Amino acid sequence: MSLRVVVPPHPLIGHSLTLLRDLQTPPAQFATAMAELGRWLTYEALRDWIPHQRVSVQTPLASTEGTLVDGTVDLLAVPILRAGLGLWQGGQTVVPQATVAHMGLRRDEQSAVASVYLDCLPTTIGERVGVLVFDPMLATGGSLLQVLERLQAKGVQVDRLRVITALAAQAGLKHVGERFPQLTIYTACIDPDLDSQYRIVPGLGDAGDRLYGTAPQPQS
Ligand code: PRP
Ligand code: URA
């Protein structure tokens, strides 16, 4: 089994990604485009994953067959701060019923090694809970791996997991796939390269800084 990476071929996804990539896009429009991507990718991720059942339904004119989502299955959304909040803003419009557990990670600018500064994962995660991880950018994959390992330590199997990421680098996907070969990831695009500072190329720059209009953060 190898990592399943889904890049939904949809013009609205391409449109939002192109706005994110554009150097000229101001933070407010960047935030809107990031939320739109979160919305469409979440919608796609639920397609073959959210539990549902066939039911019969009586219309005013006749009875027919329909589909209902199984409301007894809980969802846990895990946005990775900061920029994952932008993706989750759109995801939330699709799955407003999800409980949210924030994870805060920050990459060291030289080594690109991420450290955890906030972990709001619940102490226990029920064995039927579906988990959606919102990692804005998958560059080296190091941030995502740390979150997945914490989820795995709480008993979450990969079949109960979906990862939503705006943009993924080939090298990062390889890295994640070696550790979690059965994982499924939804992304708007797979980019070919990482530069010497482990930024995705062509990429879109620093997602967090562009989302919030902040200057690059000094390292402590
Ligand atoms: C960015 C981005 C991802 C991570 C990806 O976070 O938001 O979470 O890097 O890189 P990786 O795959 O190499 O780990 P960053 O540390 O810049 O934090 P921010 O969102 O607060 O800007
Ligand atoms: N994080 C970002 O925000 N951008 C990159 O290119 C890599 C990691």
Residue 117 dihedral angles phi and psi, to the nearest 5°: -115, -5
What average pLDDT does range 121-142 have in this prediction? 97
* Pocket flag, ligand 2, residue 163 (CB < 6 Å): no
- Which ligand has the minimum distance to the alpha carbon of residue 102? 1
In tens, the pLDDT along 59-112 reads 999 999 999 999 888 999 999 999 999 999 999 999 999 999 999 999 998 899
Q: State mean pLDDT over 111-127.
A: 96
pLDDT band at 217 (very low <50, low <70, confident <90, very high): low
Is 143's C-beta closer than 6 angstroms to any atom of ligand 1? yes
**4 touches 185 (CB < 8 A):** yes
Contact 137 CB / ligand 2 (< 6 Å): yes
At 60 the pLDDT is 98
Q: Tell me, what DSSP letter sits at residue 101? A: -
**Which atom of ligand 2 has the smallest separation from the CA of 207?**
3
- Residue 215 is predicted with a pLDDT of 82
Quick one: pLDDT at residue 1? 56
Q: How many CB atoms sit inside 10 A of residue 39's CB? A: 20
| Enclosing H/E stretch for 19 | helix 11-21
Question: What is the pLDDT, as a whole number, of residue 109?
Answer: 85
pLDDT band at 114 (very low <50, low <70, confident <90, very high): very high
Ligand 1 mean position to 155 CA, how many Å? 25
pLDDT at position 209 is 96
Ligand nearest to the CA of 81: 1
Is residue 174 within 8 Å of residue 139, measured between CB atoms?
no
Cβ of residue 198 lying under 6 Å from some atom of ligand 1: yes
Residue 65 burial by Cβ neighbours in a 10 Å radius (0-12, 13-18, 19+): exposed
From the CA of 204, which ligand is nearest? 2
Q: Is the pTM here over 0.75, yes or no? A: yes
Q: What is the pLDDT of residue 218?
A: 58
Average pLDDT over residues 133-147: 98
Q: Kind and range of the H or E element at 104?
A: strand 103-107
86 CB within 6 A, ligand 1: no
What would the mean pLDDT of 186-211 be, rounded to a whole number? 97
Per-residue pLDDT tens for 143-164? Answer: 999 999 999 999 999 999 999 9
Residue whose CA lies nearest to ligand 1 atom number 15: 106
Average pLDDT, the chain: 95
> Is the CB of 139 within 6 Å of ligand 1?
yes
Contacts of 35 (CB under 8 A, 6+ apart): 86, 87, 89, 90
> Mean pLDDT across the stretch 124-150?
97
Any idea how long the chain is? Answer: 220
* Nearest ligand by distance to the CA of 21: 2
From the alpha carbon of 136, which atom of ligand 1 is closest? 7
For the segment 25-57, what is each residue's pLDDT rounded down to a tens digit? 999 999 999 999 999 999 999 999 999 999 999
What atom of ligand 1 comes closest to residue 217's alpha carbon?
22
Residue 141 Cβ contacting ligand 1 at under 6 Å: yes
Does the C-beta of 142 come closer than 6 Å to ligand 1? yes
Closest by Cα among 215, 1, 3, 2 to 109:
215
Whole-angstrom distance, CA of residue 61 vs CA of residue 122: 47
